[in-house]
């Protein structure tokens, strides 16, 4: 059996529970690709899964290889796969119930893989799938954001937030973004129409009425956002708890919690937007050996754009 290097989690807990070791290279089914991983995107969901917070929902068997975002090269093709050939450069979001990207090789459902953007290298491409699809599905599938509407994006400089700012701008919405002082200029550069320094002013006094709130913070930030929504406006969140039915009724608004899912059609459309220059990921790349440090960094909650591990130079 051919082996590979992979990071595995043998017990739920902190970053020290992640071990780099030699494991058997995975075997693919007929509808799958074996991808030689060049780079892996790091997301907040990685540490939540590692610490066991989503275990009730995901039911992962230990040990498992973490990681959901990848960019790499097709090494092998399943017997039923027609749309790819060996050597293709692809990127993908793996299903949340079957991670596996922190490795030299990963299994990807062919239906979830997309040819990576020409204008990005593998490290930049690996920054895209989970965060960009989360932003896309929140704004368009759930909230139905349209041209001329006003959208308030909390934690706008982070992985999901910085894509949401660019998608909002692209669709013709008026984008209002909250962030700390150090990230205000970054948000202006990527297209926010109005930036609010939440460390200096109360965002509800500066934002005005909005049609959509993208809540990437939860807690007090969500509670203070309800009164800003216009009648029949929409609050969409990626975080627990479930939005309050009582507050939706009180303010005559709608709300929904969203969990991202792989979607190759949407990811293909995002790749086209990237290659057209309309959208750019902001990513910082680190060597694969620094997987623990990067996981600790994402856990602070204060990251601009995306963090990426380079598996193969």
Instruction: List the one residue out of 231, 177, 28 whose CA is nearest residue 113.
Output: 28
Q: What is the mean pLDDT of residues 149-159?
A: 98
Mean of the per-residue pLDDT values of the chain = 97
Contact call for residues 213 and 253 (beta carbons, < 8 A): no
- pLDDT of 301: 86
Alpha-carbon distance values, 16 to 12, 21, 75, 210, 294 (Å): 10, 14, 31, 43, 12
Is the predicted pLDDT of residue 302 greater than 90, yes or no?
no
Identify the CATH number of the domain defined by range 131-257.
Answer: 3.40.50.720
Instruction: List the one residue out of 188, 178, 181, 144 whose CA is nearest residue 158.
Output: 178
Question: How far, in whole angstroms, is CA 212 from its chain's centroid?
Answer: 19
Each domain of the chain, given as residue ranges in start order, spans 3-128+281-310, 131-257
Q: Partners of 277 in the beta sheet?
A: none
- pLDDT of 79: 98
Q: What is the mean pLDDT of residues 66-88?
A: 98
Confidence grade of residue 136 (pLDDT, cut at 50, 70, 90):
very high
For the entire predicted model, the pTM comes to 0.97
- Chain segment 169-189, per-residue pLDDT in tens: 999 999 999 999 999 999 999
- Chain segment 13-44, per-residue pLDDT in tens: 999 999 999 999 999 999 999 999 999 999 99
Q: What is the mean pLDDT of residues 271-277?
A: 98
Is the predicted pLDDT of residue 117 greater than 90, yes or no?
yes
Homologous superfamily of 3-128+281-310: Medium-chain alcohol dehydrogenases, catalytic domain (3.90.180.10)
Please give the helix or strand (H or E) that residue 257 lies within, else none. Answer: strand 254-257
Buried b (16+ CB within 10 A) or exposed e, 49-85: bbbbebeeebebeebbbbbbbbbbbbbbbbeebeebe
- Chain segment 210-262, per-residue pLDDT in tens: 999 999 999 999 999 999 999 999 999 999 999 999 999 999 999 999 999 99
The percentage of the chain sitting over the pLDDT mark of 90, rounded to a whole number, equals 98
Is the predicted pLDDT of residue 151 greater than 90, yes or no?
yes
């Amino acid at each position: 059996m051919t082996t590979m290097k992979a990071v595995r989690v043998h017990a739920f807990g902190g970053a020290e529970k992640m071990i780099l070791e030699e494991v058997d290279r995975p075997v693919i089914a007929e509808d799958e690709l074996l991808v030689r991983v060049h780079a892996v995107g790091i997301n907040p969901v990685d540490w939540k899964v590692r610490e066991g917070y989503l275990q009730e929902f995901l039911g992962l068997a230990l040990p498992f290889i973490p990681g959901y975002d990848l960019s790499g090269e097709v090494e092998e093709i399943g017997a039923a796969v027609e749309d790819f050939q060996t050597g293709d450069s692809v990127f993908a979001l793996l299903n949340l119930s079957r991670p596996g990207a922190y490795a030299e090789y990963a299994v990807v459902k062919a239906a979830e893989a997309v040819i990576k953007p020409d204008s990005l290298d593998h490290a930049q491409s690996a920054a895209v799938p989970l965060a960009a699809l989360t932003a896309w599905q929140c704004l368009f599938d759930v909230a139905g954001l349209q041209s001329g509407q006003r959208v308030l994006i909390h934690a706008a400089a982070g992985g999901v937030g910085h894509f949401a700012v660019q998608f909002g701008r692209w669709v013709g919405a008026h984008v209002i973004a909250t962030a700390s002082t150090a990230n205000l200029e970054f948000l202006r550069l990527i297209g926010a129409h109005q930036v609010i320094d939440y460390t200096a002013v109360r965002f509800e006094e500066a934002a005005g009425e909005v049609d959509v709130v993208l809540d990437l913070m939860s807690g007090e930030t969500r509670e203070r956002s309800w009164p800003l929504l216009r009648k029949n406006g929409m609050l969409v969140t990626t975080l627990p708890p479930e939005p309050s039915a009582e507050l939706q009724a009180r303010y005559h608004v709608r709300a929904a919690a969203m969990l991202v899912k792989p979607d190759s059609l949407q990811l293909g459309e995002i790749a086209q937007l990237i290659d057209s220059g309309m959208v750019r990921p902001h990513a910082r790349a680190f060597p694969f050996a620094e997987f623990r440090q990067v996981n600790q960094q994402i856990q602070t909650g204060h990251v601009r754009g995306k963090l990426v591990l380079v598996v193969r130079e």
